[in-house]
Chain A
């Protein structure tokens, strides 16, 4: 096995070799760093690297493994999206406004993976404050899709998806507010999972829309996603919305196959605006495979699908306009030395620090919450959120899980959607319902269209991560389609 081959392993395979002593964590890190040095100048998945951390954590992992005390992820290289705080490591939410910010604490989700023995390689690029579907809204530079460098990796967690697809990390963490894990996973041909709202603590996550945000993993297999998610999950006193359900329940029966399961196919999703025929063909083929594996396909309806995007683009911007009020140049980030008064300081800092998409959403949210418009927009959207939630409740009476495409399209060329915000927002039309209803969802590779990856989305009822994982795993096994590492040409 060459050093580069080590970057193609799944976590499960790597853990076996580590325990056998045939490789060390230091070997894994070296293999990944070599690959990053070779490929990342093209892919640009990372914003910055953390050599002090990887040296220390790999040393410790190797020592513990030798003593038989290695944690469940001992020695496994991980990349972290730039919205998750890591103590002492510059964390900027992909924004100029936070340049230089070094958090005094570490996000719980990250801390738990460190406790399990993971080794941090670096911080991955994303759309500014996780707002976007292509990673082109990063305040630093766009990330490229490892399968076609002229195309986007999706977003907002595009750097994380690209890192895993390019063999530049074994795990990457992302966040999903409207599809920001599942959509880039789909476009980069890797596994990405968004948990139930409340499954994973949001402590240390730089907030975008607090009622929608969740943290989740990117991996190259469903088993790996399940392991990582189980370790990140569970009650955290620092997040009042974190559930006290045990993290390990996400693994319940998830390897039992789909025989006898009822999988709902929402007609509104198969007919969604802008779905590419090649994507739908790949999904149809995937459904056939699941059927052959013993699942029963049932027609379901999500009648308010056409209103999801509209409700989302009131609720998410409203929450973001409130959350982003804290970026004022006083406690952290950009400064403005010569402002004559504090109001002028706020305006100057926020003009310099925020990019176009963030400004657009802050204005939209401020407008929707402003006097005279609250009832017409914000309250209305919250009521429609109830209708969308009820759609899913009704659908789940007829099925165990819902299956569809993750993204209506394959990866698109850089610049294709940057001039028209609404066209970019439509990238999330099949994923954002899961956020509005708080559902767990996973995207798993299901073949290609035009030579580019397509993702199959599985949505399950709240707290049904094990159900989503079970369908995804059964599909992975029956289809023999594995998330592969891109060669990057």
Chain B
């Protein structure tokens, strides 16, 4: 199924990818080519086939919810591009009313 330029724009917005000029055409063509190959999946009848999300049988392990050593605040913030008063600093999340 070919992907339109509008769909590329929409998907890029969902993924917060920030397109450059010319990207819509480039990715519409390339992703359409890949989806053209992927479309062969529709040839298979999978009506009664269960999906596989996790391929190895490993039982879910639980542990007691006990406090234990973790990163210090300083360690957690060490890689932050911007910090303020012990927090990660980000631009405004809500516009002013």
Expressed in whole angstroms, the minimum distance between the Cβ of B91 and any Cβ of chain A is 5
* CB pair B78 A384 closer than 8 Å: no
Q: Smallest CB-CB separation from B61: which chain A residue? A: A240
**Interface size class, chain B:** 35 or more
Please give me the 4 A-B residue pairs with the lowest Cβ-Cβ distance, nearest first: A335-B81, A351-B18, A347-B18, A382-B51
Which of A313, A363, A377 counts the most chain B CB atoms within 10 A? A363
Expressed in whole angstroms, the minimum distance between the Cβ of A122 and any Cβ of chain B is 20
Expressed in whole angstroms, the minimum distance between the Cβ of B2 and any Cβ of chain A is 12
Q: Smallest CB-CB separation from A87: which chain B residue? A: B75
Residues in A whose Cβ lies below 8 Å from that of B3 = 367
- Contacting A at CB under 8 A, from B4-49, are 7-8, 10-12, 14-20, 27, 30-31, 33-35, 37-42, 44, 46, 49
- Residue A351 contacts which of B11, B19, B52, B56 (CB distance < 8 angstroms)? B19
Q: Smallest CB-CB separation from B94: which chain A residue? A: A341
Q: Which B residues form the contact surface with A (CB < 8 A)?
A: 3, 7-8, 10-12, 14-20, 27, 30-31, 33-35, 37-42, 44, 46, 49-56, 58, 60-61, 63, 71, 75-76, 78-82, 88, 90-93, 95
Q: How far is the CA of A462 from the CA of B52 in the complex (A)?
A: 15
Q: How far is the CA of A70 from the CA of B72 in the complex (A)?
A: 33
A485 within 8 A of B: no
* CB pair B55 A342 closer than 8 Å: no
Question: Known: A331-B80, A342-B93. Contact between A437 and B55, CB under 8 A?
Answer: yes
Residues in A whose Cβ lies below 8 Å from that of B12 = 363
Q: Smallest CB-CB separation from A378: which chain B residue? A: B51
- Identify whether the interface residues of B are mostly helix, strand, loop, or mixed: loop
Residues in B whose Cβ lies below 8 Å from that of A367 = 3, 7, 11, 31
* CB pair B40 A383 closer than 8 Å: no
Which of B17, B30, B35, B80 counts the most chain A CB atoms within 10 A? B17
- Residue B79 contacts which of A197, A331, A364 (CB distance < 8 angstroms)? A331
Expressed in whole angstroms, the minimum distance between the Cβ of A409 and any Cβ of chain B is 18
Which of B34, B39, B76, B82 counts the most chain A CB atoms within 10 A? B34
A381 within 8 A of B: yes
Q: How far is the CA of A379 from the CA of B18 in the complex (A)?
A: 28
Q: How far is the CA of A306 from the CA of B95 in the complex (A)?
A: 51
* 27 residue pairs from A and B, CB less than 8 Å apart: A100-B79, A104-B76, A104-B78, A240-B61, A307-B41, A309-B37, A310-B39, A313-B38, A314-B41, A328-B16, A329-B81, A331-B79, A340-B91, A341-B92, A342-B91, A345-B91, A350-B17, A359-B27, A363-B15, A363-B27, A366-B15, A377-B41, A380-B46, A386-B52, A387-B46, A425-B34, A438-B56
Residues in A whose Cβ lies below 8 Å from that of B92 = 340-342
Expressed in whole angstroms, the minimum distance between the Cβ of A241 and any Cβ of chain B is 6
Q: How far is the CA of A346 from the CA of B50 in the complex (A)?
A: 37
- Residue A422 contacts which of B10, B34, B95 (CB distance < 8 angstroms)? B34
- Contacting B at CB under 8 A, from A327-349, are 328-335, 337, 339-348
* CB pair A313 B88 closer than 8 Å: no
Which of B41, B82, B90 counts the most chain A CB atoms within 10 A? B41
Q: How far is the CA of A337 from the CA of B38 in the complex (A)?
A: 40
Q: How far is the CA of A101 from the CA of B37 in the complex (A)?
A: 37
Q: Smallest CB-CB separation from A317: which chain B residue? A: B34
Q: How far is the CA of A167 from the CA of B82 in the complex (A)?
A: 41
Expressed in whole angstroms, the minimum distance between the Cβ of A39 and any Cβ of chain B is 33
Expressed in whole angstroms, the minimum distance between the Cβ of A428 and any Cβ of chain B is 13
Expressed in whole angstroms, the minimum distance between the Cβ of B16 and any Cβ of chain A is 4
- Contacting B at CB under 8 A, from A286-311, are 304, 306-307, 309-311
Expressed in whole angstroms, the minimum distance between the Cβ of A406 and any Cβ of chain B is 21
Q: How far is the CA of A307 from the CA of B33 in the complex (A)?
A: 16
Expressed in whole angstroms, the minimum distance between the Cβ of A213 and any Cβ of chain B is 12
Expressed in whole angstroms, the minimum distance between the Cβ of A444 and any Cβ of chain B is 24
Expressed in whole angstroms, the minimum distance between the Cβ of A359 and any Cβ of chain B is 6
Residues in A whose Cβ lies below 8 Å from that of B90 = 330, 342, 345
